[in-house]
Every structure is written in structure tokens, then in C-alpha cells.
């Protein structure tokens, strides 16, 4: 069974995200095989047993059989529920990013990937990560739909323009894994490849320190200067004090209550919407007075501002 399984899937390198997928796939194959064998054997047996033996053989008139019909409806129904429940719990596990995850920003474009780190380093088509630690990718697209797929980790997540999506994994061993784009995105879709390169924590720290950081500013620093440059801090404080708009302090990850009585937890997509479409959700106790920053801030500007807001707890 082990070798047959190896033939069907590449070696699993992120058990925390992939073990349940592999087990479910094994279960589906096993059940399918048992049903195939059962149906085939029954078919051959009936063909021999009920073969027409003489010219006056008469077929008995059987209209239905309740027990039999219930059995072949209920058993598949139970199997489908098991597969659904199993798959759903695996999906929930993929949504629940561990709190201590190391964050990397991912930007997809036609046709490649850019990975950005907390110190400002940017790397194309190679994402370096530490082993034995959960890694969270915060992803966006500069143009069309793409999809981030790492077969070794059993993870696959669409990457969209104008919205952030996430995926996480934990590679246990050092080594390399292949990344594919798995959403058709134009001529060079099949060349839109990247590699995950897994280092030990020490090697990763050294690698990160050795990367050029462009202008020397980190995303957090860029985000902070943008808030001043764009006048955001005229209306929003960063220390919790009252101004025209809600303070940025403690905003990240907090529960927001809105004038229309809805609420949500502040994440990347909420902050992005608040910058580009400020009237969409008005925090309770405040007025709809802010203008949209659509066209004044680039996607990268918005990501940098979000990185800065994450530090204001
Ligand atoms: Cu990007 Cu396909």
C-alpha cells in the first residue's frame, strides 16, 4: 500500500497541512476499490448464475425490493457524508493559521511571483522559509487570477487582484519544493513556476540578513511614512487618542462594530476596503467623512501601511 501511495502522490513535506488530505485520499481510493471489486464480482456471478439455460426459461416479474434499494441508497449516502465531513475539517485546518506563523508577502503577476520579507528584501520566484515553523503567505495579484500550488505541502490557494488571500504550511525538513501557478492566466501560465527553499532557522536568518533590502526601508517604515505623507494621521491617531476618525492603535485584529450593526475582525481585506472605499463600513460613533485613496496609493503602498498598522497594538 505504501509504495502504491507514493506512486499517486509526491512525498508529503508539510504533515500539518497535508496529512488529513492524504488520509482522505487513501480512504476514497480504498472505498472505490472495494465497490469496484464488489460490483465486478457480483456482475460475473449473476451472468453465470442467471444465464439462459433453455428456450422455455422465463424471467420472473420482480417490481421492486425495498430492503435492497434502501441499502444501496443509504450506504453511499453515509460514505458521502464521511467524505464531506473529513474534507471540511481539513479545509478548516487550512484556514486556521497558527498564531506564531512567520509572515511573507506574496505578489503574483503575469508571469511570476515576488516574495517580500519584513526587512524589505524582495525575491523573485524563490521563497525561502525556515524549517519546523508555520509560514503564512499573504497573497495578492497585480493583474489577473493566479493560484499558488505546492503539491509537496498539499496546499492550493487562488491569488486575486484587489483582495488578499492566505495560505499556510510548515515544512519539517530542509530542502526544496516546486510551486506551480494552477489557474490559467495567459500565454506563459505553464512557465509561472517558483521554488520553496527550506533552510534551518539559523541558515534562514543568515540568508535573510544577506539579502539586499533596496532603499533600506522596511515595509513597516514605508507604511509609517506613508501615513504622514498622505495625511492619514491628521484624522487617525496612532496612540489611541480621539480624533475625527478611529485611532489606528489596537486596530489590527480587533473586533470592529459598525453603524449598520454588523461587525467583523480587522484583517488585511477590511483595512484595504477602508482605504479604497471608506464609506463601505462606518465604525460606530463616527461619521462617513473620509475620501477614497483609490489611485493615490498603490497595492504595495496599502500592504506597507497594513504592515505598519499590525505593529500598533
Ligand atoms: Cu499565473 Cu497561471
pLDDT in tens, 44-64: 999 999 888 888 888 888 899
d(CA 24, CA 86): 7
Residue spans of alpha helices (H) in the chain: 2-8, 15-49, 66-95, 201-210, 219-229, 232-235, 268-276, 299-310
Residue 1 exposed, middle or buried by CB count within 10 Å (0-12, 13-18, 19+): exposed
- How many Å lie between the centroid of ligand 1 and the Cα of residue 193? 9
Helix or strand holding residue 32 (H, E): helix 15-49
Query: What are residue 270's phi and psi, to 5 degrees?
Result: -65, -45
Q: State the pLDDT at residue 2.
A: 57
- How many Å lie between the centroid of ligand 1 and the Cα of residue 142? 12
285-313 per-position pLDDT tens digit: 888 888 888 888 888 888 888 888 888 88
User: What pLDDT band is residue 1 in, cutting at 50, 70 and 90?
Assistant: very low
Helix or strand holding residue 194 (H, E): strand 193-199
Winning range, highest mean pLDDT, from 6-20, 178-192, 279-293: 178-192
Whether the link from the prior residue into 263 is cis, omega within 30° of 0, is no
Domain ranges for the chain, please list them. 2-50+64-95, 102-210, 219-309
154-175 per-position pLDDT tens digit: 999 999 998 999 999 999 999 9
CATH among 1.10.760.10, 3.40.630.10, 3.20.20.10, 2.40.10.170 for 219-309: 1.10.760.10
pTM equals: 0.77
Strand partners, 103: 136
Give all strands of the β-sheet with 146-150 in edge-to-edge order: 126-130, 193-199, 175-181, 146-150, 155-159
d(CA 90, CA 94): 6
Which of 145, 148, 147 is CA-nearest to residue 160?
A: 145
As given in the structure block, the three cell numbers for residue 286 are: 463616527
Residues with CB under 6 A from ligand 1: 111, 146, 181, 183-185, 189, 192
The residue whose C-alpha atom lies closest to atom 1 belonging to ligand 1 is 146
As given in the structure block, the three cell numbers for residue 145 are: 487570477
* CATH architecture under which domain 2-50+64-95 falls: Orthogonal Bundle (1.10)
Whether the link from the prior residue into 136 is cis, omega within 30° of 0, is no
Q: What is the DSSP letter of 114?
A: E
- How many Å lie between the centroid of ligand 1 and the Cα of residue 303? 22
Share of the chain above pLDDT 90, in %: 49
* CATH architecture under which domain 102-210 falls: Sandwich (2.60)
Question: Which atom of ligand 1 is nearest to 183's Cα?
Answer: 2
DSSP string of 212-254?
A: --TTS--HHHHHHHHHHHTTHHHHS-SSS---SS--STT-TT-
- How many Å lie between the centroid of ligand 1 and the Cα of residue 246? 39
Amino acid at each position: 500500500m505504501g509504495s502504491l501511495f507514493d506512486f499517486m502522490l509526491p512525498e508529503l513535506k508539510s504533515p500539518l497541512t497535508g496529512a488529513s488530505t492524504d488520509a482522505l485520499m487513501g480512504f476514497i481510493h480504498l472505498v472505490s476499490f472495494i465497490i469496484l471489486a464488489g460490483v465486478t464480482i457480483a456482475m460475473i456471478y449473476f451472468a453465470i448464475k442467471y444465464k439462459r439455460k433453455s428456450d422455455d426459461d422465463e424471467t420472473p416479474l420482480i417490481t421492486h425490493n425495498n430492503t435492497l434499494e434502501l441499502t444501496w441508497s443509504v450506504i453511499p449516502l453515509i460514505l458521502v457524508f464521511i467524505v464531506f465531513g473529513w474534507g471540511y475539517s481539513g479545509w478548516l485546518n487550512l484556514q486556521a493559521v497558527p498564531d506564531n506563523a512567520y509572515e511573507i508577502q506574496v505578489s503574483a503577476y503575469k508571469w511570476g511571483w515576488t516574495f517580500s520579507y519584513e526587512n524589505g528584501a524582495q525575491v523573485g520566484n524563490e521563497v525561502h522559509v525556515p524549517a519546523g515553523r508555520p509560514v503564512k503567505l499573504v497573497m495578492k495579484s497585480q493583474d489577473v487570477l493566479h493560484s499558488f500550488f505546492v503539491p509537496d505541502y498539499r496546499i492550493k490557494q487562488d491569488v486575486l487582484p484587489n483582495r488578499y488571500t492566505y495560505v499556510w504550511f510548515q515544512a519539517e525538513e530542509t530542502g526544496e519544493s516546486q510551486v506551480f501557478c494552477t489557474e490559467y492566466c495567459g500565454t506563459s501560465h505553464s512557465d509561472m513556476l517558483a521554488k520553496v527553499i527550506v533552510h534551518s532557522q539559523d541558515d534562514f536568518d543568515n540568508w535573510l540578513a544577506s539579502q539586499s533590502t533596496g532603499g533600506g526601508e522596511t515595509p513597516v517604515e514605508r507604511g509609517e511614512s506613508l501615513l504622514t505623507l498622505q495625511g492619514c494621521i491628521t484624522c487617525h491617531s496612532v496612540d489611541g487618542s480621539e480624533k475625527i476618525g478611529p485611532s489606528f492603535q489596537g486596530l489590527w485584529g480587533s473586533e470592529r462594530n459598525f453603524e449598520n450593526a454588523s461587525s467583523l475582525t480587522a484583517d488585511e481585506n477590511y483595512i484595504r476596503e477602508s482605504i479604497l472605499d471608506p464609506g463601505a463600513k462606518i465604525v460606530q460613533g463616527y461619521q462617513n467623512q473620509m475620501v477614497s485613496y483609490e489611485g493615490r496609493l498603490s497595492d504595495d503602498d496599502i500592504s506597507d501601511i497594513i504592515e505598519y498598522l499590525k505593529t500598533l497594538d
